[in-house]
């Protein structure tokens, strides 16, 4: 009986590792496609290229859309693939672990290391129409413009500030969203 259990556990772990590997592979392919879309071919002429002129009503388009960044946050946080968020972060990114002395401006790699703080809170619900998230935004000016996730199995909170280039500029993590429900 014990030997069969070991074999079953090994098979289960192998399937889980294969699934995680597949998700990471797919995420890396998506990041690769996005970076290929945002790169421009180098000019072959000897003259320096002239930048395109924008009319007063046009603004430069960001490399990422807000929806793409938010989807990347949801997908990578719930897969515990925090590394997949580095392409979406500013450098530095401001990291706060609520009710601690940590952290401040960090490189994306350092921010990823700190995100293990929320591991036990995964999965997160990022539905901005949830009454809890709406109330948190209404009662807390520091959260009003953030993309917030609430743990589905505990009280963890993670919020992301997204700048005008649709990149993550700050990350706030808390062991309980109730710290903000005053």
The continuous run of DSSP H or E covering 171 comes out as strand 168-174
Q: List the single range of 29-38, 54-63, 91-100, 132-141 with lowest mean pLDDT.
A: 54-63
Counting every residue written for the chain, the total comes to: 182
Total-model pTM: 0.65
The CA-atom distances, in angstroms, between 58 and each of 155, 163, 164 are 43, 18, 15
- Model confidence band, residue 39 (pLDDT cutoffs 50, 70, 90): very low
- DSSP letters, 143-163, are GTTSEEEEESSSS-EEEEEE-
Return d(Cα 114, Cα 111) in angstroms, integer.
Answer: 5
Res 164 pLDDT > 90: yes
Res 86 pLDDT > 90: yes
The continuous run of DSSP H or E covering 105 comes out as strand 103-106
Residue 143 structure tokens: 């959260």
Q: Give 15 or 26, the one with higher predicted confidence.
A: 15
CA 182 to chain centre: 27
Q: Which residue has the tokens 């996005």?
A: 34
- Model confidence band, residue 14 (pLDDT cutoffs 50, 70, 90): confident
The CA-atom distances, in angstroms, between 113 and each of 60, 70, 71, 74, 100 are 32, 20, 21, 18, 16
């Amino acid at each position: 009986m014990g030997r069969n259990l070991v074999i079953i556990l090994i098979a289960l772990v192998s399937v889980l590792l294969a699934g995680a590997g597949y998700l990471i592979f797919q995420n890396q392919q998506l990041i690769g496609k996005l970076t290929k879309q945002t790169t421009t071919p180098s000019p072959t002429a000897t003259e320096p290229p002239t930048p395109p002129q924008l009319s007063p009503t046009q603004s430069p388009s960001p490399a990422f859309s807000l929806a793409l960044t938010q989807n990347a946050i949801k997908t990578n946080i719930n897969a515990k693939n925090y590394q997949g968020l580095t392409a979406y972060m500013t450098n530095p990114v401001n990291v706060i672990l609520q009710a601690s002395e940590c952290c401040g401006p960090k490189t994306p790699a350092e921010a990823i290391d700190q995100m293990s703080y929320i591991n036990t809170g995964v999965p997160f619900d990022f539905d901005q129409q949830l009454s809890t998230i709406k109330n948190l935004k209404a009662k807390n000016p520091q959260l009003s413009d953030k993309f917030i996730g609430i743990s589905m199995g505990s009280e963890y909170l993670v919020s992301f500030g997204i700048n005008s280039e649709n990149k993550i500029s700050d990350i706030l993590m808390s062991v309980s969203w109730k710290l903000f429900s005053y």
